[in-house]
Amino acid sequence: MKYWTILSATLVTALALLAGCGDKADKPAQAASQAQAQKSNTEQQLVEKYNIYVDVSNSLSTSFQEARESYVESQLPPLQAKAPLTSLRIQNDILVDRSAKKLDAAVAIDAPLPEIDESAKAFSAALKVLSPLSRELNDYANSKGYLADNGDKARQMNKDYLAALTTVAQAEAAFDKGLSARDQALTKEAFEKAPKDTAAYYRAGLIYHGKLNHADARTLFESPNDPKALAAFEASLALVADSATGWSKKTAEQSAQSGKSCSGGMLQINEFIGQSRSMVKDIRNGVFKRKETGAMAGLPAYMRSSSIVSSANRYNQNFANMIGQFNHPLC
């Protein structure tokens, strides 16, 4: 699952330009006003472009990288076998053209985001190659054409489809990397600019440190028994907890002053921190080093209580719940 959140951004209204009546003394002021208006317009365009890019990623609850992995693991083996095909699933077909259209719209906005723009262009181009193959295979799968020809068409298209899907997955990974860099820079800037020991400061801290922890979590999930990965995860989690303590205090003060109840979303915040701490405890206890036995061994990974996959899924959902709530007024 991919969890991105659109950062709140204040759109600056362009200044109205009043033409001077030929007074030379007004020209410097007019030039400054025009420069400010141009800057404000660029900022608006950057916000619009960035939010479209984020929307593309948010729309893909299943990434193309995950779609490719699923295709290779579940669809490819029966396609490579000689037995008649009995099922076929093509993921994300409806989002191929839709994502390319959004990417093109964002790229066309005349405000540069160098860390994302080029990868967005490559992502869109790859999607356009995938599009006709995905559409044809999806129609074939939905109409169960494989029951009529035993899967011959799917086998004939497999090489080209998998190659196109692989290119899309690689382009998406590069796009995600650029988006992550931009997201990290914006959240860091918001945190560093917020006045210390204020609600805004702790709110920004929860978002910034939460995303640092999310990055550390990805490394930890890949190597759950790596002491360095665990230490980094614990360090950023401690920063999240510190921000949570400050945020809880400030929202309580706000409630006392206004007379209105304000939870500040602490239920979601505490759930995220609590589950993360439980995961750390499990790692220290060697839970993810154990091999499942008996009935547990036969269950899918996401159903095994001690599985790192299960913990990762819960962590990602709790992270999404915590960060996502800050896109809406909490009090």
Segment 154-200, tens digit of pLDDT: 999 999 999 999 999 999 999 999 998 888 898 999 999 999 999 99
pLDDT at 55: 92
Q: How confident is the model at residue 58 (pLDDT cuts 50, 70, 90)?
A: confident
pLDDT at 138: 97
pLDDT at 23: 46
Residue 320 pLDDT exceeds 50: yes
pLDDT at 19: 32
Please write the tens of the pLDDT for every residue from 243-281.
999 999 999 998 888 888 888 899 999 999 999 999 999
Residue 305's alpha-carbon distances to 106, 169, 175, 256, 275, in angstroms, are 42, 30, 33, 41, 13
pLDDT at 61: 83
- For 159-185, give one letter per residue: b (16+ CB within 10 A) or e: eebbebbbbbbbbbebbbebbbebbee
Q: How confident is the model at residue 153 (pLDDT cuts 50, 70, 90)?
A: very high
pLDDT at 238: 98
